[in-house]
Structures are given as structure tokens and as C-alpha cells.
Amino acid sequence: MKSLIIAIDGPSGAGKGTIAKAVASRLGYRHVDTGAMYRAIAWRALQMGLSFEDEASVVALARKAVLKTEAVIEIDGYDVTEAIRTSEIDTASAAVARIPAIREILVSHQRAIGSRGGVVMEGRDIGSIVFPDADVKIYLDASPEERARRRGLDRIHKGEVDCDEEGVATALAKRDRLDRDRTVSPLRVPSGAVVIDTTAVSVEAVVMRVMSYILDDTNRAEVGEPRDSSSC
């Protein structure tokens, strides 16, 4: 089988990271979390005391930034793998992602990383903008309640105080609005993507569904408009 470009998109809490890592591991492919790039830029901007309203300064930072996104997440030599997984960075990265020039910079970087194939790339615009001709396009979703529950558990594991489910649900709803309403690269189901609802479905079942689709050449060649594959 040729080295494929596999795009996995979806909102926060849908399971993109878990599924993308598992699929990449089974295929021996690289896993690239594009959301971590926006988070890293947001972290560096906060560290430098930049205001997100000063778009020119944040864009200048993004142009010069040295990013590493495999195994660990680094920016300008700082290992931020854990530091970027906080509620503060959730909010800050959404602000960064709305800046068109930064999206242009990072999309170019993402295309360079994935152009040779052999990659499972996750994000919110991989199948629609970064690689619209990806060999495989998957869109993961889950109910708002399930996504809030998962994010709440993540917060508890990280020792954050604001881990009540209602607060997390409110934050997710706000992030969903920002992602779907932004002018550049809004979150949407990519044309030709297989839609999988991960609510109440085990990780292994979702991984098996994605793997079966990846390995089914005939099915992939015939895919057209987005279709619901929620029954794993």
C-alpha cells in the first residue's frame, strides 16, 4: 500500500488525538497534531507578554518560531508538551487560530510535513483546507455531553480546578462557535469525509472502523459526499 495522507478532523473532545495516535501506531505512520502548533504559538505569545489584539506581533512570532511536533511539542527550544494542555491555552489558541496570517503560516508548515505521505494528521481543517485531496478523510464527532465529560476527565487528571462538567460544557460550546464562525478555515465536515460519531463507542471500535476504511481501497475510491458511519 502506498504511503497515505490520512486526515482526521473534528471538534474538541471528539477523540481526534486518541484515535489519530492509535491509527498512526498501527500503520507505522507519523502522527501530527496540528492543534498543538496553534497552542504552542499561543503559549509562546503569552510567555513573551504579547497581546492577541496585536496581531502583527503575534504573526511575527509565528513566522520566526521553530516548531517540533513529533514525539514532543517544542517551540523555540522549549518543551511545551504538557504546558499547552490547559484551559488558559484552550482560550488563547482559539484567538491565535482566528488570525488569517498565522493560519497561512502553519498550513504551509503542515503541508510540508505531510506532503510525502505516511502521515496521520489531525485538526479542524485538515481534510477541508490543508489536504483537501487527502487519501482518507475522517470526521469524528460526539454529543456535546460526551465531549464535555471527556474534557472534564482530562482536567481532573491534570489537576485543574475548573473541571466541573457544566463549566467545561460552556467552554466547549464557546470554542465550537469560534471554530465554526471564523472567517478563515472554519470547522466543517470536509467533502468526501466519513463521519463517525464516537459517543458511547469504545476507542478500539472506532480505531477498527477507521482502519477498515483505510484498508478498503474500493470503498475509498467510491466515497462522495459526507456520510454517517456512526454504527461502528
- What pLDDT does 227 receive? 40
Statement: residue 217 has pLDDT above 70 = no
Q: What is the pLDDT of residues 12-71, one digit of tens each?
A: 889 999 999 999 999 999 999 999 999 999 999 999 999 999 999 999 999 999 999 888
The answer to whether the CB of 228 falls within 8 A of the CB of 193 is no
| Look-up of cell digits 488525538 | 17
Sheet holding 5-9, edge to edge: 30-33, 119-123, 5-9, 136-141, 194-197, 227-228
- What pLDDT does 133 receive? 95
Scanning the chain, the segments in alpha helix (DSSP H) are 16-27, 34-47, 55-64, 87-97, 100-114, 144-157, 165-181, 203-215, 217-222
Over the chain, what is the mean pLDDT?
87
